[in-house]
Structure 1
Amino acid sequence: MSEALTGQGRGNIDGLVLRMLVRKLVAKGVLTQDDVRSLLFDAAKRMDEVGSEQTDQAAWSMVNEDLAPTFLGRN
């Protein structure tokens, strides 16, 4: 199904749904912004960009500059 959606020019629907779900959970108070940042840090820390896990500093930079604004609705 995602291939059909992508083929129709709708882009990455999975990512969009995930971001909307996170925003809705924050709005309802199920997750705090700090919870989201912590989850994003854990994910960023495990990213294999240069052959090994990210340093804490690089992971936090990724969270603060790219991921958190996207997931928390500031972009």
Structure 2
Amino acid sequence: MKKQYRHGLLSPLLIAFMTVVTAITVYATWGPVYEVHCVEPSVQEVVDAKKINGLVSSPFGGEYTPQPKCSKVLVR
């Protein structure tokens, strides 16, 4: 009698496990996919940053550097 009970319980547990794995897989692969595209600062922005660094001294010791401009692009 115990052996039949174990097999009876194993089947619902296996179905529950497979359902969870399937749900996680679908959730991870569902939806839009984005790529990040970055554009480096232009020569003019670098020149302007050098001018700013020449005029302003920071109390924290760092210099201003222009950052690349990044945007998300829809892939799928």
Give TM-score scaled by structure 2 length: 0.23
Give TM-score scaled by structure 1 length: 0.23
* Rg larger for: 2
Write 1 or 2 for the structure with the bigger share of strand: 2
Write 1 or 2 for the structure with the bigger share of helix: 1
